Structure 1
Amino acid sequence: MVTVRPSLQTPEERIVHWALVGTWGLWLIGGLYHVYPILGWCLALLAVGRRIGVFDDLGHPPKHLPWGVHAWGVGMFGMAVALIAGHLNFELGLGTALKSLFGWAKGWGLIAVFIFAGAELHIKPEVVYRASNILALQTLCLTPVFFICGVLGTPGIWYVSPLTYLGGPGPMFFEVGSHLWDASSLGFRLRYFAPWSPAAAFAAHIALVCAMGDKDLRWRTIGVVSAITVCALSQSRLSLIAVPIIMTGIPILSNIFTPWPAAALAIMTTSALLYLSQVKDLIDDLVQAFIGARADSSRVRAALARMAYHRWETEAPIFGHGAIERGSHLVEFMPIGSHHTWHGLLFVKGAVGFLSLALPLAWTFFEMLAKAQRDRHARAGLGIVLVLLFNSFGENLEILSYLAWPGLLIVGIVMKHKLAIPPLWAEFFRKIFAIKDADRVGGVRL
């Protein structure tokens, strides 16, 4: 099916389109880590201005802010509270606290900001899908250049942008280059516009979901092929698992009330029970193969997880330590709390931080799941939640949130859609709760 290019009718749509299409240009100056957070907060300010009437060029936003947006706002505010409490408990100082709050605004806070902007502003999902696929085409065209650089053994890092002096997590976020050398496999891994290779796979997962939402077959194919290519050449173990699960999980979860997913689940469950021992052996072999693919990396990650969990449990269970800490030589001096979202939250922000992410993420999953049964854009939102969930076990979502911004916008856009109740359930609600015209009005807002 071929469709025309989505029209850019509002200022925010033009901003989003050119911000995505211009990604590689921003990468050349090392500006992605600074520009995308600024973009998010500017979109949020525009949304606030529309709501209070400062900008009335397109009328007022929806009357009620969706509950899902409230959930993320409260959750990410809880992150800031835990951050401040951790700094106070361990007396880390005012300067460190202010620096950490600035990092929060470019990390956890940015997630809530983009979701809020998506829910408040006039942005069509198709604009995000198409801009993401244009970026995917650019990425496909650049891939041979990066790959040849790796094969020829040229320097993987070409230069470091002077924007690094404005502050940031480290110079790797401002490096411009083609690939990274992997000592464990004695080969190279493409990094694209991400700070490291698995982060490129994370961005590709977001692009994959956006590509699947495009109605144009040609652009959809380009987006999917590009995303799979990035995942393959980044050599991320997690992406090898996530890509097939995302591509099959979205259609299955989006049709859980239809017969075929239930039948497929019944067949798989029965088969698994009949061959339980073989299935167990297969899973064990896959786990060992996954760990053995990069044994040194798996060892370091496991040690960091044990250290983070033990120190959270024994030293700071409520609000955490307030900041990551440099590890010992046993973990190659990697920071404790940096390589796993959930263990990192426990170590840095304690149980408060853990729940501040778990609760809104769970809310969003069930909201997207319910809406995806009737809303095709909600299927993209559901895919984004799956991407965040999968990558939370291998990456630190806080530090990579700036790469997920197109997906976060989609989640916010879908949150303002009403939950469409299937006719059978509408009839049920009409009879049981005396709800009139339930199928016509499409249910209630979540």
Structure 2
Amino acid sequence: MLSLLALYLYYIAPSLPVAKRIAAPHWSVSLWLIAMLAMLVILVAGHLNFSLGTGAIIKSTIGWAKGWLLIALFIFAGAVLPIRAEIIYRAICRTGKYTIILLPLFLVAPFVGLPEILWVSPLKIFGGSGPEYFATILYTLEPGSGTPRWQFFAPWSPAAGMIGLIYLVCAFQEKDRGWRYWGIAAALVMIILSQSRLALVGLVMIAPIPLLFGQITRPLMWFAILPVVLLAGWFAVDIIEALNLAKSEFSGARADSTRVRETLGRIAVERWQGEAFWFGHGVVERGPHLVEYMPIGSHHSWYGLLFVKGILGLFALAIPMIVSLGLLLRSALTSDIGRIGLAMTMLLLMYSFGENLESLAYLYWPALLLIGMALQYRGPAKSI
């Protein structure tokens, strides 16, 4: 709907005063649109190579529209529509307030015998990747240990951690102190209770990006970093050993999950190389019992792209993402929206190694709008 509104504003532009006409999308935004449209062409080619039939093409096209196309459309809408980033920040903080209000219900649910799934929306009849996308889930129990994990309004816990990171970055930009506290509290709760390892890494690596880039042009920042770099050089061996130990503990925290993810990746790469190098297999396939029948290439956008859309599909995501990172690294030095856009793009890059980005676009769409705003921003004369 946002993209249709943008197209409508382009249509009526000749009748509007010049000052009220929306600008053409930046070439990097157009690159996202072209790349995601290329995904569809590659997808159809993969179906034709394996003679999957017209019905499978139609079904996969709908899946593409709900995922990859959605990513490009939100970036496009954020770039060309006169949306203020402050509205997104406030909306996220409001959502955070309601999350905190409902938190006691989520926390007590596994201990008082409430069901894990409250209900499943009848909209599931329209299809999708699984019923979890349409379910209202209070909590889940970790296989083996039986400890509860929470996913709030996400389909699974790691996705809730991802949304928590997005909300945290945005909540820090809220100017009203009261709403900012609501947003920060809710974001931290989502990150911690999701028990997502990737979310904890992002909390350290991604969340501080807007603050760091806001100070990076100041000489005092470099003087503060200098002793850290010097000490890191002296204790490099100890630091490397500590990092290796942390990596082992990180992987061992959920050894079964790590094993399944790695095995799914190996299967995806081997079958991509041997069966469908250029255009992929066209459709997702269930893995063997060894990987608990998880879809091949799931839990990893790049493996998933290689298996389903081949090397060309991987390039279709890698090229616009790398270009966006390069542009936003420069923009982050001079503008607030550039720093937010960079943080969101780096967050998507990080989660591309742990999630299938296209399946969660309907959740992290505020990040996509902010990326579009950042790519389009060209100076203080343009109101964001």
> Normalised by the shorter chain, which TM-score bucket?
over 0.9
1:371-411 residue CA offsets vs partner (Å, 9 max, x unmatched): 22221122211121121111111111010011111111111
User: What residue number does 1:43 align with?
Assistant: 2
d(CA) in 1 for partners of 2:21, 2:364: 24
Instruction: Deviation per CA, 1:184-228: give whole Å up to 9, x if none.
Output: 332111111111111111111221121122122222222112111
Q: Which residue of 2 aligns with 1:177?
A: 137
Tell me how far apart the structure 2 counterparts of residues 361 and 185 of structure 1 sit (CA, whole Å): 38
8 Å Cα contact 2:13-2:21 kept in structure 1 = no
* Alpha-carbon distance between aligned partners in 1 of 2:16 and 2:92, rounded to the nearest angstrom: 27
Query: How far apart in 2 are the matches of 1:53 and 1:130?
Result: 30
CA contact under 8 A between 1:61 and 1:121: conserved in structure 2?
no
Equivalent in the alignment of 1:259: 219
Contact 2:341 2:371 in 1 (8 A): yes
Cα deviation, 1:348-389, whole Å, max 9, x if unaligned, reads 111111111111111212222222222112221112112111
* SS of corresponding position for 1:335: coil
In 2, Cα distance between equivalents of 1:90 and 1:73 = 27
Instruction: Verify: 1:213 aligned to 2:173, yes or no.
Output: yes
Query: Offset of 1:117 from its aligned partner?
Result: 0.8
Q: Percent identity?
A: 42
Equivalent position amino acid for 1:402 in 2? Y
2:49 counterpart residue number? 89
Q: How far did 1:60 drift?
A: 5.0
Q: Which amino acid aligns with 1:389?
A: L
- Paired residue type of 1:123: I
Structure 2: unaligned runs, 5 residues or longer: none
CA contact (8 A) 1:371 1:419 kept: no
Tell me the amino acid that sits aligned with residue 330 of structure 2: A
Q: Deviations over 1:44-84 (max 9, x none)?
A: 11110110118978975433321221111111112112111
Are 1:317 and 2:277 matched, yes or no?
yes
Q: Greater CA deviation, 58-67 or 46-55?
A: 58-67
The secondary structure found in structure 1 opposite 2:361 is helix
Shift in CA distance, 61/330, structure 1 to aligned 2, threshold 3 Å: farther
Quote how far apart the aligned CAs of 1:149 are.
0.3
The alignment partner of 1:395 has SS state of: coil
CA 76–261 in structure 1, closer or farther in 2 if over 3 Å, else same: farther
Cα separation, 1, equivalents of 2:214 and 2:304: 31
- The 1:301–1:61 alpha-carbon spacing in structure 2 relative to 1, beyond 3 Å, is farther
Match of 2:121 in 1: 161
| Cα distance in 2, alignment partners of residues 55 and 195 from structure 1 | 44
Query: TM-score, normalization: structure 2?
Result: 0.94
Q: Which amino acid is 2:279 matched to?
A: F
Is the contact made by 1:246 and 1:386 (CA closer than 8 Å) also made in structure 2? yes
* Alignment-mate amino acid for residue 86 of structure 2: E
What's the C-alpha RMSD, in Å, of the aligned pairs?
A: 2.0
Q: Which of 91, 106, 112 lines up with 1:146 in the alignment?
A: 106
Q: Decide which of 188, 202, 222 is 1:242's aligned counterpart.
A: 202
Contact 2:140 2:150 in 1 (8 A): yes
**Secondary structure of the structure 2 residue equivalent to 1:213:** coil
Contact 2:297 2:307 in 1 (8 A): yes
Per-residue CA shift, 1:5-26, capped at 9, x if unaligned? xxxxxxxxxxxxxxxxxxxxxx
Aligned partner letter, 2:67: G
State the alpha-carbon separation in 2 of the partners of residues 265 and 351 from structure 1.
40
Contact 1:181 1:188 in 2 (8 A): yes
Which residue of 1 is the match for residue 70 of structure 2? 110
Q: Which amino acid aligns with 1:49?
A: Y
Relative to the length of structure 1, the TM-score reads: 0.81
Task: Give the whole-Å Cα distance in 1 for the aligned partners of 2:379 and 2:328.
Answer: 9
Q: Distance in 1 between matches of 2:115 and 2:177?
A: 38
Match of 1:76 in 2: 36
Q: Distance in 2 between matches of 1:128 and 1:416?
A: 17
